[in-house]
Amino acid sequence: MRRLPALLTALLLGGVSQAAPPPKAAPPAAPQVTWLYQDRLAPPWEDLTWAGTHALNASVAGASGSHAISATLGPWEALYFGHPGFDVSPDDTLVLKVNGGRGGANAAVRARVVIGSEQPVGVPLGPTCEGGAIPARKWVTCRVSLAKLLPEGRSRITGLWLQEDSGKTLPPLFFDDIGIERSKGPKPAPSQVAVASVAVSAAPAVKSAPGQGGKWVSGYYTGWNADDYPPEKVDFSALTHILVGRVTPRADGTLSTKFDNDRGPEIARTLSRRAHAAGRKALIMVGGSGEHDGWVGAASDANRAKFVQALLKAMDDFGYDGLDLDWEPVEVQDRPKLLALAKALREARPKMLLTFPLHWINTNFPADADPWFAELATSFDQMNLMSYEMIGAWDGWKSWHTSALRGEQGLHPTSISSSLALWVKAGIPKAKLGIGIPFYGLAWRHITGPYQPFTDWSDYVGGDNSFTYKKILRFAKQGTYQWDEKAQASYVTFAKDKAVEDGTVTWISYDSPQAIAAKGAFVKQEGYGGTIIWTLNQGCIDPESGANPLLDAVRAAFLP
């Protein structure tokens, strides 16, 4: 006989009373979200964005409130929101809404947090969104685990980037309802948290010599503007070599090691220590513009041995791997002294690194690429083209770009490609040749772009150490970004009623991330060795965070 369930039997026998139905479970509490942006940026968050065009108060159909964020992101540009210090947990979630607009389907955007001077690599945003990609003309919600953005053991961020991630200019995108969704659950053990395993500051080491795979990125760091890019903030993941300037030769064969800063020696030691911790190489920049007489005396037959010992002592005292011999200009009569100096250094310390900056070539004077420099190159690891300020209001010249990749002809006879071709013809191997990238621009009045006649030198307003990238970005908001496809060069123009600086600047020629991407592709395609940057300091847009978007662009263009 089948047995009745015990509860049913008891009920039939009257042995138990019917229990009240269990109470309904309360609905789960809505997650707590700390909003960064809803209709407007929530203080103390501030807008530190570097992008050609963006607005925090755009009217977009379907947005949650009255306003959304619109942004047209160029190569490696980012929406950047900064904070004095915001505490988070790996269990928290970055939430936001995104709309790809008319043409932004599958747009490549990367989410990254900022932690002081670090910008961990982050994750692509699209796969975290509903549907697995950013859609066109539709709002979707994206959810990014903070565990994927934070390095292990870190819980305090100072900013958020939403960065273009493919080296292209994106169609206008829209963002809304950006916040941090708090987790109320127990925190997992550190070993259970999936964290981003590679931070920007911890890239693998690179080989130190040319021709062994990979390209070099040799960045000049100068003492006179150290406050613009504090040594503690330098991002070594984007460099293979740092060239710290400068020490100066004295005519008697001694050496000044002030590094152009009251704290110069301390800064120099900090940078060499940080470079080696990151697996990079550190070189001392020697000389530079205005030091010609010191070079001639120090490298003379009477003082050369003394000078070599002074240089080696500086390397040892400050912990450096080599020297950048910035002898400007090299007169014909100087050549035996320079060659003898290079050979003496190489003989004294065969494994040291030696680099040398070359001048660009006016194609109207191809003989300026003298084969003697090919003989000099045998003693050096890198021969780097100072391909910036390749234009001036000289008689007969037309306006041109400060660092055009191509397009030289007639009355604007300079480019990187033509200069390098002439140096190769002179006998310098491609693998030893690098190109120059300026992290500053040249500003002009009376001129509104390339291919125009100059008035005279009054057209020139400023350049190195004046028109830094930070300054250019600030001015660019009231100008128009331009791209010269023939020259592979970028610039920004200003209407007369919106002229900047002193109210007269109508044109600034500079290297944007788009121009840097073109240069990296050229170097790789043509088999050249790498690049130098003048100067790392001038690319930093925020000394507190160390944000350096041009250096980000160089990393993406030149390094694996």
Q: Considering only 72-81, 124-133, 264-273, which range has the smallest mean pLDDT?
A: 72-81
Q: Do 166 and 96 fall within a single domain?
A: yes
Judge contact between 438 and 516, C-beta under 8 A: no
Q: Could you report the per-residue pLDDT of 486-530, keeping only the tens digit for each?
A: 999 999 999 999 999 999 999 999 999 999 999 999 999 999 999
Q: What is the pLDDT of residue 267?
A: 98
pLDDT per residue as tens digits for the range 2-46: 333 443 333 333 443 344 455 555 555 667 999 999 989 999 998
Question: Is pLDDT above 80 for 192?
Answer: no
- Same domain, yes or no: 330 and 416: yes
The residue with greater pLDDT, 290 or 75, is: 290
Q: Does residue 541 carry a pLDDT above 90?
A: yes
The count of structural domains within the chain is: 2
Instruction: Assess whether 169 and 263 both reside in one domain.
Output: no
Predicted confidence (pLDDT) per residue in 371-384, tens digit: 999 999 999 999 99
Report pLDDT for 208: 37
Give the predicted TM-score (pTM) of the model.
0.68
Instruction: Evaluate if residue 205 carries a pLDDT over 60.
Output: no
What pLDDT score was predicted for residue 188? 37
For residue 21, tell me if it sits in a domain: no
In this structure, are 305 and 421 located in the same domain? yes
In-domain check, residue 464 = yes
The confidence score (pLDDT) of residue 25 equals: 55
230 and 299 in a single domain? The answer is: yes
Are 410 and 515 in a shared domain?
Answer: yes
**Whole-angstrom Cα distance, residue 475 to residue 471?**
6
Confidence of residue 197 (pLDDT cuts 50, 70, 90): very low
Q: Does residue 514 sit within a domain?
A: yes
Q: Do the beta carbons of residue 532 and residue 439 sit within 8 Å?
A: no
Give the pLDDT of residue 473: 96
> Among 517, 512, 553, which Cα is nearest to 76's?
553
Identify the band that residue 117 occupies on the pLDDT scale cut at 50, 70 and 90: low
pLDDT given for residue 23 in this prediction: 54
> Quick one: pLDDT band at residue 97, thresholds 50, 70, 90?
very high
- If you average pLDDT over residues 534-556, what whole number do you get? 96
Q: What percent of the chain has pLDDT over 90?
A: 79
Is 444 among the domain residues?
yes
153 — alpha (psi -120 to 50), left (phi > 0) or beta? left
Q: What is the mean pLDDT of the chain?
A: 89
- Domain of 542: which CATH number? 3.20.20.80
- The CB-side HSE value for 158 (13 A sphere, CA atoms) comes to 14
Q: What is the pLDDT of residues 145-157, one digit of tens each?
A: 999 999 888 899 9
Closest to 488 (Cα-Cα) out of 410, 409, 403? 403
Range of the domain at 94: 33-183
Among 56, 63, 195, 173, smallest CA distance to 125 is for 173
Chain Cα centroid distance, residue 269? 23
Mark whether 262 and 344 lie in a shared domain.
yes
Stretch 199-204: mean pLDDT: 30
In terms of DSSP H, where are the helices of 467-534? 469-476, 513-526
Query: In 3D, which of 314, 295, 243 has the Cα closest to residue 530?
Result: 243
In 333-458, alpha helices (H): 335-348, 372-377, 416-425
Domain closes at, from 183, 218, 251: 183
Is pLDDT at 554 greater than 80 in this prediction? Answer: yes
Q: Of all residues in the chain, what percent carry a pLDDT higher than 70?
A: 89
Domain edge (last residue) among 183, 217, 251: 183
Residue 375 lies in a domain: yes
Whether 264 is covered by a domain: the verdict is yes
Tell me: do 123 and 266 sit in the same domain. no
Q: Is the dihedral of CA 260, 265, 270, 276 positive or negative?
A: positive
> Is 277 found in the same domain as 223?
yes
Query: Does residue 210 sit in the same domain as residue 134?
Result: no
Same domain, 252 and 146: no
- Picking from 183, 213, 231, the residue at the C-terminal end of a domain is 183
Q: Is residue 398 part of a domain?
A: yes
User: pLDDT tens digits, residue range 259-281?
Assistant: 999 999 999 999 999 999 999 99
Q: What is the dihedral of CA 154, 43, 119, 146, to 10 degrees?
A: 50
Q: What is the pLDDT of residue 268?
A: 98
d(CA 34, CA 416): 50
Instruction: Give dist(CA 163, CA 276) in Å, integer.
Output: 29
Q: Are 99 and 137 in contact (CB under 8 A)?
A: yes
Quick: pLDDT tens for 329-348. 999 999 999 999 999 999 99
CATH assignment at residue 66:
2.60.120.260
Instruction: Looking at the structure, tell me whether residues 221 and 285 fall in a common domain.
Output: yes
- The answer to whether residue 227 scores a pLDDT higher than 80 is yes
Q: For position 49, what pLDDT does the model report?
A: 87
- Is it the case that residue 204 has pLDDT exceeding 80? no
Q: Distance between CA atoms of 53 and 70, rounded to whole angstroms?
A: 8
Mean pLDDT, residues 428-437: 97
Cis amide prior to 102 (ω within 30 degrees): no
Range scoring the smallest mean pLDDT among 117-131, 234-248, 347-361: 117-131
25 part of a folded domain: no
Q: Is the pLDDT of residue 163 over 60?
A: yes
